[in-house]
Amino acid sequence: MKFKQQFHKLYAQLSPQAQSLLAYAYASIPMPLRKKRGFWGFLDFLRKSQWESIQWHEDYQLAKLQALIASAGKTSAYYRNLFKANGINTADINSPADLKHIPILQKETLIHRLDEFIPENFPRRRLMINSTSGSTGEPFKFYEDYYAVMREEAFAVRHWENAGMKLGEPAIYLRSYVPNNQNATYRYDPVNNRHYLSAYHLDEQNLHFYCKKIEQIGSKFIFGYPSSLEVFADFLSMAGKTLKFSAVITGSEMLTPNARGKMERSFGAKVFDWYGLAEPTVTMGQCELGGYHLFSEYGYLELLNAQNNLITTEGEIGRIVGTNFTNQALPIIRYDTGDLGVHTNQKCNCGRGTPAVISAIHGRKDDLLVGANGQFLPSVNFYSMFAKLGGEVHRFQLIQNGRSKFCLKLIRGPEFDQKSISTIVEGLNQRIGGRPEIEIEAVAKITPTRAGKIRAVIRNFSLSASPNGEEIEN
């Protein structure tokens, strides 16, 4: 481990030319030899475990929950004190329902008391530092162990395989790449055989360039943020073009039905959405039938209402609260992810035993706007409204700057006229309530966040509490 960290440090000090030569040399080593046996063994376990029975997955999760809570109560100063303060005996956690006795972990607590979570018997030299992008809030660092990182990749590979892709196949990435300068909108990673296209430069000139590059590469798979891929799909539609892929793999943002339809038409392939967080918590992936399967070998998911009770009603939206099984360096129990999911009682017919309890991801609670009566307004309300204005509005971003103060940025379509403004204002008034102050601004481009994402709904002010008493902070 220490050698690996020293190697990465040395690599970072090399010139770009030297780094490139080293990367191509490493890429020449066959993929089976580059990964440790532990990776291939765990991936093989995941390939088989997804087809185990529902009961097998329930038993697996209960065993993991009990082991995690018992260990955290003994070795983590934070959990030892938390359990003592709340009178929790770890031996009394006999079912997932008993988790309700453990207080929900907020992001702010994890940020400010991070070192208290680390198990006292975990060697500090083996800690690996990672961080979130901070695109929707405060960036923060957290710790992982090597095996957590390795297993994270194995879960991703299983998801790719379910979409038809094999590890090492060439793939297009319209995400995760921050160019050093305006001209470097394309980069090739020979180690992973990935072709990166900048999500920061989605103008007409670059999109034409991206089309030609993709045709040259001939990859069958494209990865991207839903917002970036939707922009690309709109461009292809307006240009009368299509690009043929075998699968489109999305993640890191809410995927709307409208955006999914655009991608599947423009890219000629099914979309496989992925849900996960930078901080290891819970992970889900869509199967070929579209069900969001919780990767139950990775973590345990609770979908809770404002009173912190489990949601059981079909179609009800709740907060995603997760408990992770894979990261020994940082036990995370009942972490409020800040994301919202739609509960479903419908069973997926694909045959997998991994549970599919969510039918859709509805973004983050930070992306909820607040109406005149204090009610939360899920962003999907606005996505569906603007989806009906396809020829009039090419893209939008709605920003709430105060209780009744909004700024709407629009990229206008060819059919936009004065009547469009009246329709938009009327629709917003209906959804928000009252008579909100709405400033409409026509723009040529909507600027991505630091992480390259294009947020359609942003709330720029904080509330001390929601109408039901839940604390909300941006």
pLDDT at 132: 64
Find tokens 């941006």 and name the residue: 474
Q: Model confidence over 194-239: pLDDT tens digits?
A: 999 988 777 888 899 999 999 999 999 999 988 889 889 989 998 9
Q: In this predicted model, which residue has the larger pLDDT, 451 or 352?
A: 352
Choice among 57-61, 332-336, 360-364 with the minimum mean pLDDT: 360-364
How many Cα atoms sit within 13 Å of 295 on the Cβ side?
31
Whether the Cβ atoms of residue 369 and residue 427 lie closer than 8 Å to each other: no
Q: Which residues contact 131 (CB under 8 A, 6 or more apart)?
A: 139, 140, 141, 142, 278
Q: Model confidence over 434-458: pLDDT tens digits?
A: 888 999 999 988 887 665 667 788 8
Q: Model confidence over 51-79: pLDDT tens digits?
A: 999 999 999 999 999 999 999 999 999 99
The pLDDT mean for the chain works out to 86
pLDDT band at 375 (very low <50, low <70, confident <90, very high): low
Distance, in Å, from the CA atom of 186 to the CA atom of 209, rounded to the nearest integer, reads: 10
Where exactly are the structural domains of the chain?
368-459
pLDDT at 203: 80
- Burial of 220 per CB tally in 10 Å (0-12, 13-18, 19+): middle
How long, in residues, is the chain? 474
The CATH class of the 368-459 domain is: alpha beta
pLDDT band at 7 (very low <50, low <70, confident <90, very high): low
Q: Please tell me the pTM assigned to this model.
A: 0.79
Q: Model confidence over 110-130: pLDDT tens digits?
A: 988 999 999 999 998 888 887
Token duo for residue 402: 């105060």
Token duo for residue 15: 């010139």
Q: Model confidence over 152-204: pLDDT tens digits?
A: 999 999 999 999 999 999 999 998 776 766 568 899 999 999 999 988 777 88
Whether the Cβ atoms of residue 456 and residue 396 lie closer than 8 Å to each other: yes
